[in-house]
């Protein structure tokens, strides 16, 4: 009997030990999935989840395997986990360029002007310096002005003024002549015209600038350069790529924007320019941007077509508030043709400022005078090259100095 009881006790102990082993082995089987030793993301510093969103799934795992955190070998893997995480961060921050300051740009770029404008400024000075200012010489002076696209009326006015003043002067020293010519050219260009590009709305919404002009004049380039001018002056900018007609225009504008950290609102190719312009201003308001610049398409197919298109863009944008500036971009090398374009655009929208591009590539700087006269609107900016900062605020004095030298 005793033997029987002893056998029973032994049997029970044996069963208990076996079942304990089974439970224990189950526990061990459960561990590996929750504690994979090869999960470096687990030990990644808490900073990592802040850096990349990909850390989410891994972020769950540390809670399951607390002991993993303190495992020495896991810790040694931490730097390895950090290294690849740091790399994708670098390209995420695009390189933002710092544009050149805008003050004095025209003076810095004057060499570009004087190179192409010698026939105007220096030519006039040479003629005025002749010993005998006879009728033929005055005719040559007139011819020089007309060739430089100054325009018939302003040329006549200038010649009359110069004649009068030279007569009064009597003897002429080169310095006196230079000073006299400078004064008269500056006067006819208009030193007192307000040439500030209006980029402040006066309320707490962004200033809105619309850029118009015939395609090929440098409109998109100018919009991009203007964004840089504004950024250089400490303003934040949103770009509206409403030139949906020219295939590459939106990409081109976006590239300009990215270089200075300005967002570009764009739509599908051939999309509705007005709705893109509307969205751009909406984005500008949402972002709290200082200025919204809207590039438009300049198809001179028919005047009515242009009027419909630009008129609609303007009307739609004005649902947010009034436009602060409408800049007309004109290619200075196109001379009379440019003036014809200016007239058409002025009939379609109220131009408030002119941008003369490619002044580096023409000797016909007189277009500044002619186009202001034609539209009664100031030249506010001039393009002096293809470089990103080759757009300068226009100043009458600096312009004339570049023409005649000082």
Site residues (CB under 6 A) for ligand GDP? 213, 215-221, 246, 249, 357-358, 360-361, 383-386, 390
Judge whether 294 and 249 are in contact, CB under 8 Å. Answer: no
Q: Where are the beta strands (DSSP E) in 225-339?
A: 237-242, 263-265, 291-296, 325-331
Q: How far is the CB of 327 from ligand GDP (least distance, A)?
A: 12
Residue 6: Cβ-neighbour burial (10 angstroms; 0-12, 13-18, 19+): exposed
Identify which of residues 201 and 296 has a Cβ nearer to ligand GDP in the complex.
296
Q: How far is the CB of 216 from ligand GDP (least distance, A)?
A: 5
Q: How far is the CB of 223 from ligand GDP (least distance, A)?
A: 8
* Close Cβ partners of 26 (under 8 Å, ≥ 6 residues apart): none
Q: Supply angle C-alpha 309, 319, 270, rounded to 5.
A: 35
Q: Which strands, in side-by-side order, build the sheet including 291-296?
A: 263-265, 237-242, 291-296, 207-212, 325-331, 353-357, 379-383, 391-393
Q: Supply angle C-alpha 108, 154, 110, rounded to 5.
A: 10
Q: How far is the CB of 380 from ligand GDP (least distance, A)?
A: 14
Q: How far is the CB of 40 from ligand GDP (least distance, A)?
A: 50
Residue showing the smallest CB distance to ligand GDP in the complex: 383
Identify which of residues 138 and 245 has a Cβ nearer to ligand GDP in the complex.
245
Q: Supply angle C-alpha 312, 200, 316, rounded to 5.
A: 15
In angstroms, rounded to a whole number, what is the distance separating the alpha carbons of residues 398 and 406? 10
* Close Cβ partners of 249 (under 8 Å, ≥ 6 residues apart): 220, 241, 243, 295, 297
Q: How far is the CB of 103 from ligand GDP (least distance, A)?
A: 19
Residue 97: Cβ-neighbour burial (10 angstroms; 0-12, 13-18, 19+): middle
Identify which of residues 154 and 218 has a Cβ nearer to ligand GDP in the complex.
218
Q: How far is the CB of 142 from ligand GDP (least distance, A)?
A: 29
Identify which of residues 134 and 386 has a Cβ nearer to ligand GDP in the complex.
386
Output the six-digit token pair for 72. Answer: 């020495």
Question: Rg for the chain (alpha carbons), in Å?
Answer: 36
Q: How far is the CB of 78 from ligand GDP (least distance, A)?
A: 51
Identify which of residues 324 and 390 has a Cβ nearer to ligand GDP in the complex.
390
DSSP designation for 129: T
Identify which of residues 117 and 217 has a Cβ nearer to ligand GDP in the complex.
217
Q: How far is the CB of 280 from ligand GDP (least distance, A)?
A: 16
Look at residue 156 and give its three-state secondary structure: helix
Identify which of residues 41 and 252 has a Cβ nearer to ligand GDP in the complex.
252
Identify which of residues 79 and 216 has a Cβ nearer to ligand GDP in the complex.
216
Identify which of residues 49 and 104 has a Cβ nearer to ligand GDP in the complex.
104
């Amino acid at each position: 009997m005793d033997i029987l009881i002893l056998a029973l006790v032994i049997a029970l102990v044996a069963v208990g030990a076996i079942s304990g082993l089974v439970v224990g082995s189950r526990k061990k089987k459960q561990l590996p999935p929750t504690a994979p030793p090869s999960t470096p993301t687990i030990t990644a510093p808490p900073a990592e989840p802040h850096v990349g969103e990909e850390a989410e799934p891994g972020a769950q795992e540390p809670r399951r395997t607390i002991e993993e955190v303190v495992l020495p070998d896991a810790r040694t893997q931490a730097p390895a986990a950090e290294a690849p995480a740091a790399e994708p961060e670098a390209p995420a921050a695009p390189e933002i360029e710092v544009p050149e300051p805008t003050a004095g740009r025209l003076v810095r770029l004057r060499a570009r002007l004087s190179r192409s404008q010698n026939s105007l400024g220096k030519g006039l000075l040479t003629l005025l310096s002749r010993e005998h200012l006879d009728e033929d010489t005055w005719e040559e002076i007139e011819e020089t002005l007309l060739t430089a696209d100054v325009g018939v009326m302003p040329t006549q006015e200038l010649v009359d003024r110069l004649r009068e003043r030279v007569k009064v002067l009597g003897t002429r020293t080169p310095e006196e002549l230079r000073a006299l010519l400078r004064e008269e050219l500056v006067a006819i260009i208009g030193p007192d015209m307000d040439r500030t590009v209006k980029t402040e709305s006066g309320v707490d919404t962004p200033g809105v600038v619309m850029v118009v002009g015939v395609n090929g004049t440098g409109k998109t380039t100018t919009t991009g350069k203007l964004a840089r001018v504004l950024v250089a002056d400490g303003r934040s900018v949103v770009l509206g790529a409403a030139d949906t007609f020219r295939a590459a225009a939106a990409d081109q504008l976006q590239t300009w924007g990215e270089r200075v950290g300005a967002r570009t609102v764009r739509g599908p190719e051939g999309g509705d320019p007005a709705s893109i312009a509307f969205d751009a201003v909406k984005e500008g308001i949402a972002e709290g941007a200082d200025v919204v610049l809207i590039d438009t398409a300049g198809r001179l197919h028919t005047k009515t077509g242009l009027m419909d298109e630009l008129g609609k863009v303007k009307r739609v944008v004005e649902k947010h508030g009034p436009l602060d500036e409408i800049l007309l971009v004109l290619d200075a090398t196109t001379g009379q043709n440019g003036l014809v374009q200016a007239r058409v655009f002025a009939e379609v929208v109220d131009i408030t400022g002119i941008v003369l591009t490619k002044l580096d590539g023409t000797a016909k700087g007189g277009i500044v005078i002619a186009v202001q006269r034609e539209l009664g609107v100031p030249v506010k900016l001039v393009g002096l090259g293809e470089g990103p900062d080759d757009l300068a605020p226009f100043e009458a004095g600096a312009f004339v100095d570049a023409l005649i030298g000082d």
